[in-house]
């Protein structure tokens, strides 16, 4: 009877220790999940809008005679969509600020400064075909 009593006590102690370890592990996992969720919430998601894609493809079309269109790409940021040459952020042809009002088309100026032009939308982009071509050609050599 004494052996049975001691076995039962040891079993209860082991079960309690295992449950305690599982509870701590679950708490750790919950904390990690919460930290991951916080990290995800802190970084605003970059969403490339249909209007930004339309602007990009229009610029690509307008530049087809000036540069190989395979060299033209884009990079979306939280503030603007940049149209790039050779996928190089230092070779930006233009930037679109379309998620704000007023909307802007920015062209590179001297020393890579931005020359912002107010536009009403994507339909205004062809008006700046020559400026876009000059910006692209400036990187060609």
**In terms of domains, do 10 and 74 share one?**
no
User: Which pLDDT does position 38 carry in this prediction?
Assistant: 61
What is the SS3 string spanning 5-73?
Answer: HHHHHHHHHHHHHHHHHHHHHHHHHHHHHHHHHHHHHHCCCCCCCHHHHHHHHHHHHHCCCCCCHHHEE
**In terms of domains, do 67 and 131 share one?**
yes
Is there a contact between 67 and 135 (Cβ–Cβ < 8 Å)?
Answer: no
User: Which pLDDT does position 33 carry in this prediction?
Assistant: 75
Structural domain count of the chain: 2
User: Which pLDDT does position 111 carry in this prediction?
Assistant: 81
Supply the range of the domain harboring residue 60: 50-137
**In terms of domains, do 65 and 124 share one?**
yes
Residues of the chain predicted below pLDDT 50: none
**In terms of domains, do 131 and 73 share one?**
yes
**In terms of domains, do 39 and 76 share one?**
no
User: Which pLDDT does position 11 carry in this prediction?
Assistant: 65
**In terms of domains, do 37 and 54 share one?**
no
**In terms of domains, do 130 and 87 share one?**
yes
User: Which pLDDT does position 9 carry in this prediction?
Assistant: 72
User: Which pLDDT does position 42 carry in this prediction?
Assistant: 61
**In terms of domains, do 26 and 74 share one?**
no
User: Which pLDDT does position 45 carry in this prediction?
Assistant: 81
**In terms of domains, do 20 and 67 share one?**
no
**In terms of domains, do 65 and 132 share one?**
yes
Could you report the per-residue pLDDT of 109-122, keeping only the tens digit for each? 988 799 999 999 99
Q: Which three-class secondary structure state does DSSP give residue 98?
A: coil
């Amino acid at each position: 009877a004494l052996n049975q009593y001691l076995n039962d006590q040891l079993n209860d102690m082991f079960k309690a220790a295992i449950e305690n370890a599982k509870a701590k592990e679950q708490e750790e996992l919950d904390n990690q999940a919460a930290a991951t969720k916080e990290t995800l919430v802190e970084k605003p998601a970059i969403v490339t809008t249909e209007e930004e894609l339309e602007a990009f493809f229009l610029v690509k079309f307008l530049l087809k005679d000036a540069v190989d269109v395979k060299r033209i790409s884009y990079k979306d940021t939280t503030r603007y969509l940049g149209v790039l040459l050779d996928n190089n952020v230092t070779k930006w042809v233009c930037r679109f600020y379309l998620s704000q009002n007023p909307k802007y088309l920015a062209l590179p100026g001297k020393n890579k400064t931005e020359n912002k032009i107010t536009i009403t939308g994507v339909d205004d982009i062809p008006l700046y075909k020559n400026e876009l071509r000059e910006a692209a050609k400036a990187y060609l050599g």
